[in-house]
Amino acid sequence: MDMYRRTRTIYLFWQMNVRLQRDMENALSSFNMTPGQYIALSHLRSKHRYSAAELARKAGVSAQSMIELVLAIEKKGLIVREAVDKNPRVRRISLTVQGLETLVAIDAKIDRLEESLLSVITPTEVDIVRSSMIALLNRLAEGPL
Residues 48-72 pLDDT 10s: 788 899 999 888 889 999 999 999 9
CATH number of the domain to which 77 belongs: 1.10.10.10
pLDDT interval class at 118 (50, 70, 90)? very high
Q: Which domain holds residue 44?
A: 2-141
- 49 against 42, higher pLDDT: 42
CB neighbour list of residue 25: distance below 8 Å, 6 or more residues apart: 34, 35
Report pLDDT digits (tens) over 71-111: 999 999 999 998 877 777 788 999 999 999 999 999 999 99
pLDDT interval class at 1 (50, 70, 90)? low
| Number of other residues whose CB lies within 10 A of the CB of residue 53 | 12
Residue 135 to residues 17, 80, 129, 130: CA-CA distances in angstroms? 17, 34, 10, 9
Question: Residue 117: in which H helix or E strand, if any?
Answer: helix 97-118
Domain count, the chain: 1
